[in-house]
Amino acid sequence: MNVKNMFYGAILVSAVWAVILLSWFESSLTLSDYLRYESVILIPCLLWVAVYGLGKLYLQRTSN
């Protein structure tokens, strides 16, 4: 899997999570609440993409 596709996947997951949160809280969700809940999903996704990308880059460099 391509690292760029994984990054877009992480953004897609966060967008779906935003829709779920907005429908769950309806209109009582403030921006700070949204960012707190969003960071629960988005930060691990982006960390996974970064670790995967660096690992893939490392394997490409060591295999040559």
Domain that holds residue 25: 3-63
Task: Give the per-residue pLDDT at 64.
Answer: 65
Task: Give the per-residue pLDDT at 27.
Answer: 64
The torsion angles phi and psi of 27, rounded to 5 degrees, stand at -105, 0
Torsion over CA: 54, 55, 59, 62 (sign): positive
Q: Give the pTM.
A: 0.49
Task: Give the per-residue pLDDT at 9.
Answer: 78
Q: How many domains does the chain have?
A: 1
User: Going residue by residue through the chain (64 aa), what tens digit of pLDDT does each one get?
Assistant: 677 777 787 778 777 877 777 777 666 767 777 777 777 777 777 787 788 878 888 888 888 6
CB 29 within 8 Å of CB 20: no
